[in-house]
Amino acid sequence: MSVPTVIIHRDADVLAKAVAARLITRLVDDQAAKGSASLVLTGGTVGIATLAEISASPARDAVDWRNLDIWWGDERFLPSGDSERNETGARKALLDNVDVDPARVHVMRGPDSGMTAEESAEAYAEELRRASRPEDHGPAPSFDVLMLGMGPDGHVASLFPGMPALYDTRPAVAVHGSPKPPPTRITLSLPVIQGAREVWVIAAGEEKSAAVRLALSESGTMQVPAAGARGRQRTLFLLDRAAASKIPASLGRISSP
């Protein structure tokens, strides 16, 4: 697993714009190199703000949106179209504005599918297995970029401190009793997150600063799941100054004056 690189931006607005620019460039490079790309989206304030900045970017259509596989790191177990679903936020912010291939938008199904949360998680795990290639060496694709928001408690995706999903090695699992509403969710497991080529943890705000410090130290992943948010080739912690306020200055490069 890769050692995190910390990049610090002035505030949440610059952070979202900078991550959007970084992602557009990354997807263009991967599509140029491989003919396609794969991206895992996150919910949360900064995650969705980043998608909105991509949508507003003049460079947006440098990405070949038809040649992009889109997945989610987690989803609230709510009916399709529910405003609280991460999918709904992503569609409104970006996906409805670009020419994605619907067959390559891999949604975590909600209760309106007729499935329980466990059945939906297993269905997603099966979809991940089907998309995995021999060179991925695991039950899920080695995603080019896996984006994660992070909670004040150090959760990423819907992997919350001390909860059973953190110990689960299946590719996708159901979560009950989430401390962050709604209580029932679907999440990728830690091994699948760690199988991604690049993991980008995106966090803004003072309330995240203690968790950021723990996530960048030798904390255990059971106590601080973000401490396990590491990519195979590269890990970025993309922060605003407030979220970075408790880490040693030596660790972060401030990118925005």
Ligand X SMILES: O=C(O)[C@H](O)[C@@H](O)[C@H](O)[C@H](O)COP(=O)(O)O
* 210 contacts ligand X (rule: CB under 6 A): no
Sole window of 90-98, 155-163, 210-218, 231-239 interacting with ligand X (rule: CB under 6 A): 155-163
The amino acid that residue 209 corresponds to is: S
Instruction: Give yes or no for a contact between 1 and 234, defined as CB atoms under 8 angstroms apart.
Output: no
Instruction: Give yes or no for a contact between 192 and 172, defined as CB atoms under 8 angstroms apart.
Output: yes
16, 147, 232, 236 from 198: Cα distances, Å:
18, 9, 6, 8
The length of the chain in residues reads 257
Sole window of 98-106, 136-144, 145-153, 244-252 interacting with ligand X (rule: CB under 6 A): 145-153
Rounded distance between C-alpha atoms, residue 241 and residue 203, angstroms: 10
Sole window of 14-22, 149-157, 225-233, 249-257 interacting with ligand X (rule: CB under 6 A): 149-157
* 106 contacts ligand X (rule: CB under 6 A): no
Site string for ligand X, 25-64 (x = CB under 6 A): -----------------xxxxxx-----------------
Token pair, residue 244, equals 């970075």
Smallest gap from Cβ 167 to ligand X, in A, equals: 18
Smallest gap from Cβ 119 to ligand X, in A, equals: 20
Site string for ligand X, 58-77 (x = CB under 6 A): ----------------x-x-
Smallest gap from Cβ 205 to ligand X, in A, equals: 7
Token pair, residue 163, equals 């909860």
* 91 contacts ligand X (rule: CB under 6 A): no
Write out the H or E segment, with its range, that includes residue 236: strand 234-240
Sheet holding 68-72, edge to edge: 68-72, 37-41, 145-149, 198-203, 234-240, 4-9, 252-254
Sole window of 21-29, 56-64, 148-156, 241-249 interacting with ligand X (rule: CB under 6 A): 148-156
The 3-state DSSP class for residue 152 equals: coil
Q: How many CB atoms neighbour CB 64 within 10 A?
A: 15
* 82 contacts ligand X (rule: CB under 6 A): no
Residue number of the CB atom closest to ligand X: 149
User: Which of residues 31 and 204 has its CB atom nearest to ligand X in the complex?
Assistant: 204
Summarize as ranges the residues that interact with ligand X (CB under 6 A): 42-47, 74, 76, 86, 149-151, 155-157, 180
